[in-house]
Structure 1
Amino acid sequence: MKLNAIILGGFLFFSVSIGGGVAWLVSKIFHKTNEGLALLCGGFLVGLLALDIIPSALAMYKFPGIILGVLIGCLFLLLLDNFLHVSTPYKPSVYLLTIALFIHTIPLSLTIGNMLGNSTFGVSITTSTILHHLPEGFALTSAFLSKGEKLWGLLLCFIGLSVCFSIFVWIGHHTILSTRAQGVLLGISIGLIAITSINEFILHHIRAVSIRSFLTFIFLGYLLSVVFHH
């Protein structure tokens, strides 16, 4: 089968859907506590950053570009938080996480686009697309469930993620984005995921459960990220 951007986008949708299914099953265990599921999501995201995203970023891109991206991401969140504090009490943590994961797919999709012409990488590209995005599906689904968001919104996020991935695979196949720009994009993603996971999913719920439950949920979330990583 000849791979193209649309087929790879389909593989990504399949991947995030599997990750979402696992998150749904896990949520059934903690169906009586949205706080616990939010903490689980926070621990999972911290593990995803520590085990996958940050090490990969440091291995592939230069440190200054990543730091610049992190600062841009933090500034964006600060401005958005100030704006929302004035206009509405609603904090769109789920959708900020979605934006972060959208941005996170861009460097990978550009790289895959560059390799599309080489048939030798067909199987490895397909495998990478499926396995690499299982955690994203898990994280988004657990975040949506913990915040009580409508599942049709989650489906739209999955579709949007797949479309975004396909678009940037196509762009990567026809153009070349500098590694510095890709490093900045990945840094923005790291900053958004880190602040959202720590502030909205962990610190926001620290007083809602006992210290023992708090540490247990965080540890279980981190442990799940280790399982996904391997």
Structure 2
Amino acid sequence: MGFSFCLAVFISLLLGALIAVFISKWLNSSVHYISSLCAGALAGVLFLELIPHSFGEYNYVTVLLGILIGFPLIYSFDFSVHCFLNKKIKDSKLAFYFLLLAITLHNVPSGVALGNHADISGHLSHIIILHHIPEGMSLMLIAYTAFIKTRKVIASFAFLSVSLFGVVSFGLQFPITNNHLVEVLLGFSISTFGYVIFIELLLPALKVGSKSLHFISVLFGIFIIQVVLFIG
């Protein structure tokens, strides 16, 4: 069952990546508009899935605390990386790794909940598997703009699949009754998503091209995620 769960998550991420490749080839547009599309897709994941789930299922005060802690930490880390590496890593590549971190943190409460309920084949596991489709799509879109090699994207998908199963296994072995740590991690994940959307993707993209087309690209990205979540 462990292997099948990892494989299902990995396939969902790959499916999202294939959708992203199709959209990128179909649009055949400037990389800056693809960045706006990616920002819209991430905004869809954030505002249609992550925030409603976090504030609906957990204590919103602790989640807000995680957001307040997370944003300055991410900003400080980003600033330090740029200073020490002297811009050798592109902002879009940093956005990819920040998003990978955000998804990993977001998977912690979901995986712990799944492990605590020991419901690998139930409804919750299906939701977790399906919601990796838009996340795979978002990662692939950022990888496209950052010219990240395909094997690194696939390796990141494998990492997400295995790390999620590791969290589920941890939840099975050590059930967590105190939700405060989980809530802070969710808040940190939200702040990381927001930082990637606005600071790493959208603001740099808006400096080039038509703002109207960027706005349309963002709306189209949100619409795509809405469709994916509706089908899922």
Matched, 1:211 2:211: yes
Deviating above 2 A after TM superposition, structure 1's stretches of 4 or more consecutive aligned residues are none
Q: Deviations along 1:8-57, whole A, 9 cap, x unmatched?
A: 12211111111111111111123342111111010111121111100000
Q: Which of the numbers 69, 72, 94 marks the counterpart of 2:69?
A: 72
What is the alpha-carbon distance in structure 1 between the residues aligned to residue 10 and residue 125 of structure 2?
A: 12
Task: Kindly state the Cα deviation for residue 84 of structure 1 after the two structures are TM-superposed.
Answer: 2.1
Output aligned runs, 1:133-148, within 5 Å: 133-148=132-147
User: Which residue pairs with 1:8 in the alignment?
Assistant: 5
Matched, 1:20 2:22: no
- Identity, in percent, stands at 25
Structure 1: 5+ residue stretches without partners:
none
Q: Deviations along 1:135-171, whole A, 9 cap, x unmatched?
A: 1111111111122111111111100000110100000
Output aligned runs, 1:108-119, within 5 Å: 108-116=110-118
What is the alpha-carbon distance in structure 2 between the residues aligned to residue 162 and residue 123 of structure 1?
A: 18
Q: Which of the numbers 33, 37, 41 marks the counterpart of 2:34?
A: 37
User: Which residue pairs with 1:164 in the alignment?
Assistant: 163
What is the alpha-carbon distance in structure 2 between the residues aligned to residue 32 and residue 149 of structure 1?
A: 18
Equivalent residues of 1:16, 1:138 under 8 A apart: yes
What is the alpha-carbon distance in structure 1 between the residues aligned to residue 124 and residue 61 of structure 2?
A: 28
User: Which residue pairs with 2:95 in the alignment?
Assistant: 93
Structure 2: 5+ residue stretches without partners:
none
TM-score by length of 2: 0.91
Aligned residues: 224
What is the alpha-carbon distance in structure 2 between the residues aligned to residue 202 and residue 82 of structure 1?
A: 18
Equivalent residues of 1:12, 1:162 under 8 A apart: yes
Equivalent residues of 2:114, 2:125 under 8 A apart: no
Secondary structure of 2:121's match?
Answer: helix
Task: Kindly state the Cα deviation for residue 81 of structure 1 after the two structures are TM-superposed.
Answer: 2.2
What is the alpha-carbon distance in structure 2 between the residues aligned to residue 223 and residue 124 of structure 1?
A: 25
Task: Kindly state the Cα deviation for residue 75 of structure 1 after the two structures are TM-superposed.
Answer: 2.1
User: Which residue pairs with 1:127 in the alignment?
Assistant: 126
What is the alpha-carbon distance in structure 2 between the residues aligned to residue 127 and residue 85 of structure 1?
A: 39
